[in-house]
Amino acid sequence: MYMVSLKQAAGLGMEELDSLDTITAELLKFIQLKNQRLYTHSIQVANYSVSIATKMGLPKSEIEQIKYAALLHDVGLLFVSNTLLAKIPYLNRAERGLYKRHAAGGGNMLENIPCCQDIIPSIRYHHERWDGSGFPKHLRGANIPLGARVIAVADYYDMIINPSTEFWAKTKQQAVRELFSASGLLFDPEVVKAFIETLG
């Protein structure tokens, strides 16, 4: 069902749907049309994630997968209204429940597309936390896929330095301090260390 609608919307042939690069580019167009900030966030998180993965010395193929997963980490938010997205820091319990569905929902969106299989775990678990306090599965430590641990740090950093989000709007120095204090609690210490090294 989803494959057909994506094909129709993007005007693609079935062979082209086999390319992760093409799928990602087309979905990013939908993300940009829906919400410009969500689009720039996706690009930024991918840039940070690639820097982290490179600093950690991961194989090139894994860095590529992390890049695509990061670009699409919030693809499940396509099904969350912009009204709700605009009030994220102030969501009530019911709204927060809806919002939290986007992580597993993004993975579900891609599960019938063969070329997306390797990036699904990093999307589905990008809100898991090192201490088990995340969602959707309360995974902890190394049980969280490495790509998801990388994206989690990049995602958090970009969110809190975003000047359009008054609720957070921290300086880069404040954001680095927060990452340090959350290292080993919310985030993989090795990932935090690599990220801070990339910031110089």
Contacts with Fe ion, residue ranges (CB under 5 A): 74
Write the CB contacts of 173 (distance below 8 Å, at least 6 apart in sequence).
none
Least distance to Fe ion, CB of residue 21, Å = 22
Which is closer to Fe ion, CB of 17 or CB of 155? 155
| C-beta closer to Fe ion: residue 63 or 124 | 124
Min CB(106)–Fe ion separation in Å: 8
Question: Which pair of tokens denotes residue 140?
Answer: 């902890």
Shortest gap between Cβ of 54 and Fe ion (angstroms)?
A: 22
3-class DSSP state for residue 19? coil
Residue nearest to Fe ion (CB): 74
- Cis peptide, bond prior to residue 145, ω within 30 of zero: no
- Angle, CA of 162, 68 and 74, to the nearest 5°: 45
Q: Number of H helices and number of E strands within the chain?
A: 10, 0
CB of 60 to Fe ion, least distance (A): 26
Residue 88 and residue 11: Cα distance in Å, rounded? 33
* Residue number, 122 or 183, with CB nearest to Fe ion: 122
